[in-house]
Structure formats: structure tokens, C-alpha cells
């Protein structure tokens, strides 16, 4: 069974940066990895995704140019570098995994972490 655990969240001032990490246990060979977020009172939304080889990445329009997703398969880890953070980025961020390829749809992801809180102050 695949288990995912996020870390790296915290409180940061607007314009600052954070780097989120997600470590996976269990078999994730060829899995697409993604990041989603959920703000208070909001729905879970797509943030970024990356294929196993790294040759495919996708970003939500709201984070393009500011966030970068990457992965290290030798460490079974995926990362989200977040720069130029805005208060509207405040949310719980979730790491997710799927055996499907090139998908950004939440319902196609099979495994989820517990989330890490990111709070951006103004």
C-alpha cells in the first residue's frame, strides 16, 4: 500500500517562499505525482502534477510562473517550490499519487497524504 507524507508547510510573509516535500512509501514506480490544495470553506483544487520521468508537468493558471514541481525517484519524493507567495495561496496542501499518466483530475488520484498547512500573511 502506498503511503504519502507531506512536510515543509508553515507561516510565511507575502512575497516569500516555501518548499514542500512529499515522501512516499510503498511501490510508486511509474506513478504520476500531484499537489492539490484546499482553502478554508473551499473545494480541493489542482495545483501541479509531474510524470514519473519528469517530461510532463502541469500547473494551475493561478500558480504558473511562481511554483515549480519536481521529483527524485531515487528518494521516492516529490517537491513543490513555491515563490512569490500570496495570501490567496493559504491552504492545506496535499500530495497525491496515481498510476494514470498525464492527469490533473483529483478523482483519478488514488493515494493521498494528510496535508500540510501553508499560511501566507499580508
Stated as kind and residue range, the H or E segment containing 103 is none
CA atoms of 86 and 88, how far apart (whole Å): 5
The per-residue pLDDT for range 46-92, each reduced to its tens digit, is: 999 999 999 999 999 999 999 999 999 889 999 999 999 999 999 99
Please state, in angstroms and rounded to a whole number, the distance separating the CA atoms of residues 71 and 21. Answer: 9
Distance of CA 60 to the CA centre of its chain: 11
Which grid coordinates are listed for 44? 480541493
pLDDT of 102 > 90? The answer is no
**Segment 5-35, tens digit of pLDDT:** 999 999 999 999 999 999 999 877 789 999 9
Phi, psi of 9 (to 5 degrees): -70, 170
C-alpha cell at 10: 508553515
Amino acid at each position: 500500500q502506498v503511503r504519502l507524507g507531506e512536510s515543509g508547510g508553515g507561516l510565511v510573509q507575502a512575497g516569500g517562499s516555501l518548499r514542500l516535500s512529499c515522501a512516499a512509501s510503498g511501490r510508486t514506480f511509474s506513478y504520476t505525482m500531484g499537489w492539490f490544495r484546499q482553502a478554508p470553506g473551499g473545494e480541493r483544487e489542482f495545483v501541479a502534477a509531474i510524470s514519473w520521468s519528469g517530461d510532463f508537468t502541469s500547473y494551475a493558471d493561478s500558480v504558473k510562473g511562481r511554483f515549480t514541481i519536481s521529483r527524485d525517484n531515487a528518494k521516492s519524493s516529490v517537491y513543490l517550490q513555491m515563490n512569490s507567495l500570496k495570501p490567496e495561496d493559504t491552504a492545506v496542501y496535499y500530495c497525491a499519487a496515481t498510476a494514470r499518466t498525464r492527469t490533473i483530475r483529483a478523482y483519478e488520484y488514488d493515494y493521498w497524504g494528510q496535508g500540510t498547512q501553508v499560511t501566507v500573511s499580508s
